[in-house]
Structure 1
Amino acid sequence: MLTRRAILGAGLSATALAVSGCVTSPPPIPAPEPDPVPPYPLSYGPITTEPYPIPAVPPGVVAPQYWRQIVDDPTGEVPGTLVVDPGARFLYLVQEGGKALRYGVGVGRAGFAWSGKATIQYKRHWPTWTPPKEMIERQPELEKYSAANGGQPPGLDNPLGARALYLFQDGRDTLYRIHGSPEAHSIGRAVSSGCVRLLNHEIIDLYDRVPEGTTVLVRAAKEPEGLV
Structure 2
Amino acid sequence: MPIRQIAVGRYQEETHPNTLKMALAEFISTLIFVFAGEGSGMAFSKLTDGGSTTPAGLVAAALAHAFGLFVGVAVSANISGGHVNPAVTFGLFIGGNITLLRGILYWIAQLLGSTVACLLLKFATGNMITSAFSISSGESVWNAFVLEIVMTFGLVYTVYATAVDPKSKGNVGILAPIAIGFIVGANILAGGAFDGASMNPAVSFGPALVSWDWTNHWVYWAGPLIGGAIAGVVYELVFISHTHEPLANTEF
TM-score range, shorter chain: under 0.3
TM-score by length of 1: 0.25
Q: Could you say which structure has the higher helix fraction?
A: 2
Relative contact order, higher structure (CA 8 A, sep 6+) = 2
TM-score by length of 2: 0.23
